[in-house]
Amino acid sequence: MLKILRYSFYDLMRGKWSYVYSLFYLLLGYTFLFLNNDLSKAIITFLNIIIVLTPLIGTIFGVMYYYNARDFTELLLAQPIRRTSIFLGQYLGVSLSLSLCLVLGLGIPFVIYGLFQSAEIFNFVSLLLTGTMLTFIFVALAYNIALSFEDKIKGFGFAILVWLFFAIIYDGLFLLSMVVFGDYPLDKFALGASIFNPIDLARILILLKLDISALLGYTGAIFQKFFGTNLGMLAAITILSAWVVLPVMRIIYKSNKQDF
């Protein structure tokens, strides 16, 4: 598995899209920090970018790599190698390469602008960890989708639909339900609904860490009310970890059962 992970990692890091992804965050970081040298405001700004863009990139790269490497995967399946090792190695290679691009692309501008001399270093590390967890989550979801659809067009279409649902449609449905059932106590409903959206959980986690009550929103305020700041952060991290583990377990199950 480690050999396949290393091959997938180096294969992606040599690709032009990894350079484009890193350069995008690098230029964006320099631009924001050049226009406003306030690291705290820059972290809040990048929060809104990362929780939308990172899942999208993870979804697209995950599906694209699986379909592009299908011939190589079939060759590996013909060898005396465990299927779990093949697919977990590829999944981890894609996830780690995208996470490294994110860390380097954002980390370099912030370090140059004095991150290590600032009190915002822990908030910035939390932002990177959240972006990394979202990458692992949506690459895992993308691999599950690709394993379920042999047709590339169907796989790409469903993957984009899944990202669109979590990034936009889910919040719209949630707000609509809050308006329609506004006369009822919806605290527990809001708490439960936020668990089923990793993007909302990532946003809540960072905002609880930053302790910005004005930006927490309804679900973030409910998290803070039920769990408090520290316990709420721990609960959000635990649920996000479950969002990584459960899709990975399905990758293992699907790869062992599917006939390639």
Dihedral (Cα; 179, 201, 209, 212), 10-degree rounding? -20
Maximum alpha-carbon separation in the chain: 61
Contact 187, 222 (CB under 8 A): yes
Residue 163 confidence (pLDDT): 93
**Residue-level pLDDT, tens digit, the chain, 260 residues:** 788 888 888 888 887 888 888 899 999 888 888 877 777 778 878 888 888 899 999 999 999 999 988 888 888 888 888 888 888 999 999 999 999 999 999 889 888 887 778 777 888 888 899 899 999 999 999 999 999 888 889 999 999 999 999 988 887 887 787 777 767 776 677 777 778 889 888 887 777 766 555 455 555 566 666 655 667 677 778 888 999 999 999 998 888 877 66
**CA-wise closest residue to 128 among 105, 151, 153, 158:** 105
Q: How far apart are CA 234 and CA 244, in angstroms?
A: 15
Radius of gyration of the CA atoms of the chain, in A: 19
Residue 224 confidence (pLDDT): 62
**Does the CA dihedral 24-29-32-34 come out positive or negative?**
negative
